[in-house]
Amino acid sequence: MAYMLALFGTGAFVMRGAGCTINDMWDVKFDKMLNPYTIAFCLGSMPLVTIYPFMKRITYWPQLVLGLAFNWGALVGWTAVTGGMNWGVALPLYAAGVSWTLVYDTIYGHQDKRDDIAAGVKSTSLLFGDNTKAVLSVFSSSTIGLISVAGYMNGQGLPFYATVLGVGSAHLIWQLQKVDIHDPASCWRTFKSNTWFGGIILGAVLADMAYDRLYSDAAGSKEHSIQ
């Protein structure tokens, strides 16, 4: 068994190293386009990525660390596009992502809670227990609120807020009403439904862009007619 573990462990290390190297070779032109500020932010995520696997052994909040690591891309993406940082927009967006991660990964964790108890590992699923829905309703509200704050700071318009506050809120409410935290199949279905929530937020941004474009075109046509 020790031999097999060493063999496959070495194989995994070598194959991942080769895969990363090939990926870098293909992306060399793209990587040159990243500014130093963005590269610094990318490196900033490494401590979170490194410590996350150990968190479930020492704290009931590994999902929080997961959220901090998973959503780092909100900060990196902003710097990559703008070359700088607008904390008024990026920070609430990042915090919204962390809050959302606590929602969906706590639901996910309820599938494994019996195994986690047997293995002696911790999670927010075990911490919240039968109060999960009440606690996640707070995090769901925080997610919607923080996305709205980020939108406000970024100058988003009516379609964005209508979609986020209306459709987005409705979806999160539906999740918490529908999920049975004691049924692994129900937890899995609800966890997967979060792809729809991500799509809703993307739709809110696209709808706002389309509305802004149409409004600008209409205003331009009116000005041209007056002239």
Condensed to tens digits (0 to 9), the pLDDT of residues 49-59 reads 889 889 999 99
Q: What is the pTM of this model?
A: 0.81
Computed over every residue of the chain, the mean pLDDT equals 89
Going by C-alpha positions, the residue among 88, 75, 8, 91 that lies closest to residue 38 is 75
In angstroms, the CA 25 to CA 18 distance is 11
Whether 227 has a pLDDT exceeding 60, the answer reads no
Least confident of 38-47, 77-86, 183-192, 218-227: 218-227
| Distances from the Cα of 197 to the Cα of 26, 155, 201, 202, angstroms | 32, 22, 6, 9
Whether 141 has a pLDDT exceeding 70, the answer reads yes
